[in-house]
Amino acid sequence: MLERRKPDLLMPLKGYARSRKSQKKHTKRQSPALDALRAAVTLTKDAVHAVGVTAIDVVRDGAAFIGLSSPAEELQNPFSNLDAPIWEQHPPQEIINIAFDYCESLTRREAGNFYHSFKYLPDEQRRAMCAVYAFCRRADDIADGDWKDVFQGGLGPDDPEAIAYRSEFEQLSDRPAVIDEDAYKTKLAQLFFFRKKLSTCYNGLTSTDPVFLALKDTVQTYQIPQEYFGDLISGMEDDLFNNRYRTFDELYLYCYRVASVVGLMCIEIYGYDDEEARRFAESWGIFMQLTNVLRDVGEDIGRNRVYLPLQELEENKITVSELDGTVLRNKQWEAYTYHYAKRARTYLAEAQKLIPLLPRRSRYSPAAMTAFYDAILKQIIKRQGDVFSSRIRLNKVQKIWLAAAVYVRYRFLPFFLTPVWDLFSKVGLLPRV
């Protein structure tokens, strides 16, 4: 059976990572009564904001359900009329706001669960999180989808810079591409130009791509290291050359690049003081990506991809050919998925330690995402590893119940009542969030 990956075997953190200290100013100490009043005012404002946001969503969903609103049209790049890759001058704030609106619309359309976890954040943080998600979404769409990224002035796969990049890339790797040659050249070129756009977030230039225009404002505000974004692009490039992972350590590195770095980006936006937050954020990403890997086994094999470690499959007498769904007849599969989930939960336990290290106003976002993914993992086990019959997802009732529980616990529940919540959750009277 699988050996449980111990938390102390986590990959070492990158040396460049820095904590973003909280914005709290150390002025002369206020009276406890005044502090309590300010906390109550903030809590009330956040509650009113949450109710307002929820009400708007209910109205929007209701209108769509009864046909009063039409399905959303294809998302249009607001700057598609521009024929240059960069602005001649730094654009005014109105233009930057349009870029943020684009990223928020993209997030709302493409990732309902993620957007739900963002929407209760303060406006600045919500918009920043949407910019980060939009970057990740577009990178993934290039590598694993059919998104055609545009770099004005670039010649695509035939661009001399792209050819030089591809040649250098191939010299450093002895692996052949796992997709057809034309798709490989196109995707690698697009990811190269994606890197060029990323560079504008860290120099004096400003991209005309709305995603990178919003991202530049975000990384400047929250001081997010460029290496995080570069690592994610490297993870997407890895998908062009690798569709199998021999060991769990190989899978871990991939998960770090495509998910842990996202967690590290997020905490820079949330804010934190304790350096341990970075280690827990890394585990947070690993947990969610391991859950994705198990949930998407059937879909991935249809694209000739196997993310489950081959060594572990062999040890459990499971063949790759069985991953089309026939593996459900293999008695080893249920036991394998159970132990896989058990190992994933070691990272969940680490991830949950992140939440108390964040400002109270930021905790709902990671707690909600963690709760949603934990619920998905539980469903996989409840269905005895059947991730093939239908895609495992949460229904509306489950989402609302979990979201309400998370919001109450992490936004309203006093710290000293946390043990009480844990006690009631153990006996099934409250959800484990």
Tell how far CA 246 is from the center of its chain: 24
Residue 258 is given by DSSP the state: I
Structure tokens at 413: 């529940």
Q: Which amino acid is located at 132 in the chain? A: V
How far, in Å, CA of 410 to CA of 417, rounded? Answer: 11
pTM: 0.84
Residues of the chain with confidence (pLDDT) below 70: 1-31, 34-73
Tell how far CA 21 is from the center of its chain: 22
Is residue 265 within 8 A of residue 24, CB to CB? The reply is no
Per-residue pLDDT tens digits for 16-32:
333 444 444 334 455 67
In terms of C-beta density within 10 A (0-12 exposed, 13-18 middle, 19 or more buried), how is residue 31 classed?
exposed
Which H or E run contains 162?
A: helix 160-172
Is residue 344 within 8 A of residue 356, CB to CB? The reply is no
Sign of CA dihedral 39, 42, 46, 48: positive
- CA-nearest of 346, 251, 341, 256 to 305 is 251
Say what the pLDDT of residue 244 is. Answer: 95
- CA-nearest of 272, 205, 321 to 17 is 272
How far, in Å, CA of 154 to CA of 430, rounded? Answer: 55
Say what the pLDDT of residue 317 is. Answer: 96
Q: What's the number of CA atoms in the CB half-sphere (13 Å) around residue 111?
A: 23
Kindly give, in sequence order, each residue whose CB lies less than 8 Å from that of residue 375, ignoring residues fewer than 6 positions away. Answer: 394, 398, 402
Output the CA–CA distances (angstroms, integers) from residue 298 to 69, 295, 303, 375, 389, in the order listed: 35, 8, 9, 19, 9
Per-residue pLDDT tens digits for 299-355:
999 999 999 999 999 999 999 999 999 999 999 999 999 999 999 999 999 999 999
- CA-nearest of 81, 75, 99 to 206 is 99
Helical pair 181-199 and 123-144, crossing angle rounded to 10 deg: 150
| Residues in a beta bridge with 71 | none
Kindly give, in sequence order, each residue whose CB lies less than 8 Å from that of residue 305, ignoring residues fewer than 6 positions away. Answer: 239, 243, 244
H-type helices in 223-363, by residue range?
Answer: 226-241, 248-255, 261-270, 276-295, 297-302, 310-315, 331-352
How far, in Å, CA of 374 to CA of 16, rounded? Answer: 30
Is residue 14 within 8 A of residue 379, CB to CB? The reply is no
Is residue 260 within 8 A of residue 296, CB to CB? The reply is no
Tell me the domain boundaries of the chain: 90-394
CATH code of domain 90-394: 1.10.600.10
* Phi, psi angle pair for 17, to nearest 5°: -65, 140
Residue 235 is given by DSSP the state: H
How far, in Å, CA of 222 to CA of 210, rounded? Answer: 18
Overall residue count recorded for the chain in this entry: 433
Based on DSSP, count helices (H) and strands (E) in the chain, helices before strands: 17, 0
Tell how far CA 203 is from the center of its chain: 25
Say what the pLDDT of residue 423 is. Answer: 82
